[in-house]
Amino acid sequence: MALICFKRYRMEVNLLAHTWSWPGVPSGYRLFPWDDSLLEAHAEAKYASFRDEMDAAIFPCFTELNGCCRLMSEIVRRPGFLPKATWLAVRLGENGGPVEPCGTVQGIQDRSGLGSIQNLGVVPEHRGRGLGRVLLFRALRGFREAGLTRVFLEVTAENHGAIRLYERSGFRVVKTVFKTVEAACPDRSCP
């Protein structure tokens, strides 16, 4: 197997340095705060958001729904899991009821007391509507309500749309890291 190296950025934001106007949820969507009954819906949104993206080559669990279910289970069992910073976006049907999970974000407080954003993802056909921004800001509000002052995340350097969102939201690159993974196909055409 060939090795592929992915450049990733660690980005951080100081929650005390910003006074944001919190964006509203786009019409036709609803956000749900964390509840144990939503674990599978989070996994479905994560799978649909990441399965065909470059991050699936770095994190193979994104390529299978069961892998995303296992990942969600692991996240919520971590000692620093923050329900207040964990949200699910759902598309609403004509009758106003939930139809499909289409976005997800999870929050964790790490051992050093920093907030960590995990797997902010929006299903491709729902991108460009502000859902990523709303999910990000709900997570940031949850970290702030939990008393945290700094939040970080990692993003693949080639994910320009995500980087723009994070920079517009006050995040700055603080470190560059490289993640090397084995790939079944050396031309990087793998999911």
Domain boundaries, the chain: 2-183
Which pLDDT band holds residue 190 (cuts at 50, 70, 90)? very low
Cα→Cα distances 152→12, 31, 94, 134, Å: 4, 22, 37, 17
| pLDDT of 143 | 98
Which pLDDT band holds residue 179 (cuts at 50, 70, 90)? confident
Pairing mode, strands 29-33 and 115-122: unpaired
For residues 60-69, average pLDDT: 91
Statement: residue 98 has pLDDT above 90 = no
Which pLDDT band holds residue 60 (cuts at 50, 70, 90)? confident
| pLDDT of 64 | 93
* Fold entry, domain 2-183: Aminopeptidase (3.40.630)
For residues 173-184, average pLDDT: 86
Alpha-carbon distance 170 to 19, whole Å?
A: 10
What's the pLDDT tens digit per position in 111-169? Answer: 999 999 999 999 999 999 999 999 999 999 999 999 999 999 999 999 999 999 999 99
Q: Which helix (H) or strand (E) holds 152?
A: strand 150-156
Any residues with CB less than 8 A from the CB of 18 and at least 6 apart, and which?
170
Predicted structure pTM score: 0.90
Alpha-carbon distance 108 to 75, whole Å?
A: 8
- Cα–Cα–Cα angle for 156, 158, 160, nearest 5°? 100
What's the pLDDT tens digit per position in 23-59? Answer: 899 999 999 999 999 999 999 999 999 998 888 778 8
